[in-house]
Structure 1
Amino acid sequence: MNKRNIKLLIIITLIIISLFFIIFFPISIWIDSLLLWINQNHKLSSIIYILIYLFSCIFLVPVSIITLAGGFIFGLFQGIILASISSTLGATISFLLGRYLVKSWVQKKIINKHKIINQIMNKQDFITILLLRLIPAIPFGMLNYSLSITNISLKIFILSSWIGMLPITILYVYLGALADNLKNISEILLNPMSQNIFLFLGVTVTLLLVIYILAKAKKRLKKNYYKK
């Protein structure tokens, strides 16, 4: 059995297991119990959330779901603070690991296999990194390690990464918080129409703003680095 078939088999198995738990186990009750525990242990749950985020950053686990969970669990404002701190700290740890401990692995596994990274290796300014953070086509974790073997200073990396990641972080946390507010269908039906309209407009405006920022970032990168 080749690697592709093995991966497909693993994915199918995970889907079947997930469906089994959703159908035969009270997932909603577990979630409510988890949220209750979080409310009763607020400081500890915040620390656990940050640690999970850091682990995901270091081991290249996608963090979008974790960011969404931050909004769902902690609400909009605290979710943004925790997710922003976690993503910036996780990026910084990955950067330091790539620079001082796993440099050869980064060169072999990431840099040599991704053309876009090769094209920006000599462009190490603040604006470049900020724009790269706004491009979803470049995975968050991969970019952290890739930039670690450039000559960029740690200070510039942290500042540009924090600012560049903030719009996407706010969007994901906002959607997570919105999901928490609307998780009960009966609540949606009981809400006045005006509230639903404002919620819809809020999501729409947020999405349009992020799409606009991403389009501008992509255009700027193409203009600066892909013209011959």
Structure 2
Amino acid sequence: MNRQTLTRIVLFAALVVAIGSAYLYRDQLNVAALESWVKDAGALGPLLYIALYASATVLFLPGSLLTLAGGALFGPVWGTLYSLTGATLGATLAFLVARYLAREWVRQRTGGILKKLLDGVDAEGWKFVAFVRLVPLFPFNLLNYALGLTRIGLMAYIAASFVFMFPGALAYTYLGYAGREAVAGGEGLIQKGLLALALLALVAFLPRLIKRLRGAPTTGEGKLSSADLKARLERRDDITVLDVRPAKDYIGELGHIPGSINIPIDELPNRLPELESLHDRPLAVICRTNKMSGKAVRMLRETGLFKQALLVNDGMVGWCQAQGQAVPAASGNECSAMPVPGGVSAGTGKTVTIVIQNAPYKGDNKAWHALRFAGAALTEDMKVRVHLLDDGVQLARRDQTVPKGATDLGQLLAELMECGLEVRACGMSLDGCRLDEKDLMPGIQQGSMKALAGWAQESDIMLTF
């Protein structure tokens, strides 16, 4: 055993003992004790507070208590600065400890998915640090050590941590300050309390905002047309085509691109290991149009492995047209082809629930009209849900028999689900029609009247056909 290895073992043992001791005596760390220590330190009180905060971060003690105490002891401005400084210093120390003790050891023993995840974090660098500081996906203290195992630069790590921990530090520091003022009976308690709540609400909303931004539709930088894809394939560029349509559509009337990989979107999360070898090359994702493939692109990018996932924005319909092939009837984007019903304004973003009770292909064509309305609503940026009830559950049956001259409602329903339509079939009605889940089209879930009631409460528009 060489000297460097021995040193690392000794340091690791000392760290474990220190963390264990801190855990055993954690009850002695409270606001009253902190206030006493800071006052006894006099002018050095802020430095003592920063040092305590940094030590607590390294030793896995809760930082929220210290941040609240900082607001109570130093006020909202200096308390935020001292808390943020202590948190950043502690995070940096933990980062350096992990980097010195274990990074190379971990790197030498990781492979497969874990190695690619680490590589993905390395590639994002400070952006990844910014994201996890704003959105606390993992415990703060543990995350500091975990980031030390990556190749993220030290200065980028420090800067991103300091800047993007600021919103949380400000909110909790101000909350501690407002609490101290309330106990002391200071002036303007209502305003200070409301401001503290507003800051906490902002911090609580940040994860949802960041998630929405990360899950937003793919930008133009991540798109290419079928004509562009055709040109790249003809040049034999290093690009792979991933077709996320169901297997029956992959070999159906629109056909598929020679050499493409077919993984239906509902199977994609479980079959990602099949694509591991393609993580560092462009991956063109295609479906019939672009709705499901857009979701697949976001899914691939969120893994951190497939940074070059590209959306083929006009899908197989555009591919057929680019090849000069005739597009079969009803193969276009049914969502955009339907007229907007009167009385529904464009771009409302409302939620619509449609209940279909009538069996398909009846003389009144209610099921057909319901699906046409669903398609029109989808084009108007609405969230659309369909609940199949009574005889309407027959619409969910796979491999339906289509009467001569009638529109294939099963195919239309499948295309609308590609456009984002959510469909459930009532369990009691399925029993009445002697159907079970294995008889349903892919993507349709079994529902209940309780679930329908929940949908109704959330909906702006409720229709029954």
One fold, TM greater than 0.5? Answer: yes
Q: Structure 1 residue 208 and structure 2 residue 201: aligned?
A: yes
Task: Give the 3 Å change call, closer, same or farther, for CA 42–217 of structure 1 in structure 2.
Answer: farther
Q: CA deviation at 1:39?
A: 4.5
Q: CA deviation at 1:87?
A: 0.8
Which residue pairs with 1:21 in the alignment?
none
Contact kept? 2:178, 2:193, Cα under 8 Å:
no
Which residue pairs with 1:132 in the alignment?
132
> Sequence identity, in percent?
30
Paired with 1:147 and 1:56, the residues of 2 have a C-alpha distance of 18
Task: Give the 3 Å change call, closer, same or farther, for CA 62–106 of structure 1 in structure 2.
Answer: farther
Q: Structure 1 residue 225 and structure 2 residue 302: aligned?
A: yes
Q: CA deviation at 1:205?
A: 2.1
Paired with 1:106 and 1:79, the residues of 2 have a C-alpha distance of 37
Q: CA deviation at 1:201?
A: 2.5
Q: Structure 1 residue 85 and structure 2 residue 85: aligned?
A: yes
* Structure number with higher strand proportion: 2
Paired with 1:44 and 1:181, the residues of 2 have a C-alpha distance of 24
Contact kept? 1:68, 1:172, Cα under 8 Å:
yes
Contact kept? 1:70, 1:173, Cα under 8 Å:
yes
Contact kept? 1:67, 1:172, Cα under 8 Å:
yes
CA displacement 1:7-66 (0-9 Å, x = unmatched): xxxxxxx9xxx8xxxxxxxx9xx94x9747744643322222122111111122221111
Paired with 1:81 and 1:106, the residues of 2 have a C-alpha distance of 35
Contact kept? 1:53, 1:90, Cα under 8 Å:
yes
CA displacement 1:165-186 (0-9 Å, x = unmatched): 11111111111111111114xx
Paired with 2:211 and 2:135, the residues of 1 have a C-alpha distance of 7
Paired with 2:37 and 2:156, the residues of 1 have a C-alpha distance of 39
Select the residue among 174, 193, 198 that pairs with 2:191. Answer: 198
Contact kept? 1:99, 1:148, Cα under 8 Å:
yes
Task: Give the 3 Å change call, closer, same or farther, for CA 167–205 of structure 1 in structure 2.
Answer: same
Contact kept? 1:84, 1:169, Cα under 8 Å:
yes
CA displacement 1:181-226 (0-9 Å, x = unmatched): 1114xx27xx5xxx23312321232122222322222334565414
Which residue pairs with 1:64 in the alignment?
64
Q: CA deviation at 1:122?
A: 4.7
Paired with 2:138 and 2:120, the residues of 1 have a C-alpha distance of 12
Count residues with an aligned counterpart.
Answer: 190
Which residue pairs with 1:156 in the alignment?
156
Paired with 2:97 and 2:34, the residues of 1 have a C-alpha distance of 33
Question: Aligned ranges for residues 26-65 of structure 1 at < 5 Å?
Answer: 31=32, 35=35, 38-39=38-39, 41-65=41-65
Question: Aligned ranges for residues 86-101 of structure 1 at < 5 Å?
Answer: 86-101=86-101
Q: Which amino acid aligns with 2:145?
A: Y
Paired with 2:99 and 2:37, the residues of 1 have a C-alpha distance of 39
Higher relative contact order (CA 8 A, sep 6+): 1
Q: Which amino acid aligns with 2:211?
A: K
Question: Aligned ranges for residues 100-179 of structure 1 at < 5 Å?
Answer: 100-103=100-103, 121-179=121-179
Contact kept? 2:172, 2:200, Cα under 8 Å:
no
Contact kept? 1:124, 1:151, Cα under 8 Å:
no
Contact kept? 2:56, 2:63, Cα under 8 Å:
yes
Higher-Rg structure is 2
Q: Which structure 1 residue ranges, 4+ long, deviate > 3 Å from structure 2? A: 33-42, 102-107, 117-124, 218-224
Paired with 1:196 and 1:137, the residues of 2 have a C-alpha distance of 33
Paired with 1:142 and 1:47, the residues of 2 have a C-alpha distance of 24
Paired with 2:105 and 2:73, the residues of 1 have a C-alpha distance of 36
SS of residue in 2 equivalent to 1:138: coil
Paired with 1:213 and 1:86, the residues of 2 have a C-alpha distance of 23
Contact kept? 2:41, 2:48, Cα under 8 Å:
no
Query: Superposition RMSD on alpha carbons, in Å?
Result: 3.5
Q: CA deviation at 1:151?
A: 1.2
Larger displacement relative to structure 2 (58-67 or 200-209): 200-209
Could you tell me the TM-score, scaled by structure 2's length?
A: 0.36
Paired with 1:104 and 1:126, the residues of 2 have a C-alpha distance of 20
Contact kept? 1:134, 1:164, Cα under 8 Å:
yes
* Structure number with higher helix proportion: 1
Structure 1 unaligned regions, length at least 5: 1-13, 19-26, 108-113
